[in-house]
Amino acid sequence: MKKLLNKHLGTGEGRSRLGLAFTVFAIAAFSLWFALPGAFAQGISKWEREFPGTNFETRIIELDEINDDGNTRDSIPPVRDPKYVPVSEVKDMGPLEPVLSVGINGDFRAYPLRILLWHEIVNEVIGGTPVLISYCPLCNSGVVFDRRVGEQLLEFGNTGRLRHRDMVMYDKETESWWQQFTGEALIGDLSGKRMTPVPARLESLARFRERAPDGQVLVPENDGARPYGSSPYVGMDTQRIPRALQAVHFPYPLPEGVSPMDRVVVVGDEAWTLAALRENSPVVDDDLVLTWESGQNSIHDTQLIFRGRDVGNVVVQRKSADGAKDVPYDVVFAFSFRAFNPDGTLHR
């Protein structure tokens, strides 16, 4: 582990100025990532103490599917009081750094992954629509959902638990537990309910600035709370995992030539490898059009995000009589697509 961290973080003068604190973050991230999937081992007594309002008897999954890795309720703190600045005033981000952006009724907001990777959840109202901004760095899933479910308006927090290496959230109204990747309630009174995804883009700051010059960009509530601009997930998307270990750490069958950490573009129960989209852009599937253009840093490559390798920008739109319209999509690691879509189609 030490050699791996030294390789990526450097030594001596080249080592991170964040020092020991950042190294601890990085060790924790790597340890979590390569740990064997944790089974439900302690019974639910600990969970019941943390979540006294959760109905653990009502659920659509087995409890041992939840991984308890040491995090607890909101120990990964959601952004509680979102602060924004006009995109024209953003000076401390690289132009190719990734943002999860959404526009509703002319109200455009961008959520930098340099912030989301440390907080994962933002509850907000955009263009009059209550939305949940969600991002799980372990599988690179970034989805925006409408927070209204039936007649209820929900506010979300982080259980601190994982399922298939993806964040499990909870709502504060019923304390039901929700899967971030799918927006479906897994445990509790709302089990089986789903939130509606909202079209959003994972794009560079520069592209957001170009298409939404009057847009707003999320900034930290406290600049010193986390090492914003740095990532503990150094080298995660470039590590080649031997086949023998893939079966242990990622027990999700993938086609020959597709690695668990390869990015794929997910639309519903279908996905396209980013490599294929990059080579063949645009890809047209009936009325669906997927495009790729260069110019976006990976947050899973180098310690400083603005130096991350170029993974490109993806736009997914559906043709209609009124012109092309954005549709919800997600750019994730291949293992997570297969984990949540075992019968889905993966194009390559």
Amino acid 22: pLDDT: 47
Pairwise CA distance, residues 205 & 195, whole Å: 27
What is the tens place of the pLDDT at every residue in 88-144? 999 999 999 999 999 999 999 999 999 999 999 999 999 999 999 999 999 999 999
Can you give the length of the chain in residues? 348
DSSP-based three-state secondary structure for 90: coil
The helix (run of H) or strand (run of E) holding residue 206 is helix 205-211
Amino acid 318: pLDDT: 97
* Residues 33, 164 contacting (CB under 8 angstroms): no
Pairwise CA distance, residues 75 & 133, whole Å: 18
Parallel, antiparallel or unpaired: strands 166-171 and 156-163: antiparallel
Q: DSSP string covering 242-277, please?
A: PHHHHHHH--S---TT--TTSEEEEETTEEEEHHHH
Amino acid 239: pLDDT: 79
Pairwise CA distance, residues 279 & 274, whole Å: 9
**Residues of the chain whose pLDDT is less than 70?**
1-43
DSSP-based three-state secondary structure for 40: coil
Where are the domains positioned within the chain? Answer: 2-34, 45-219, 243-347
Amino acid 185: pLDDT: 98
The helix (run of H) or strand (run of E) holding residue 291 is strand 288-293
The residue assigned the tokens 């092309």 is 324
Pairwise CA distance, residues 317 & 329, whole Å: 9
* Residues 289, 327 contacting (CB under 8 angstroms): no
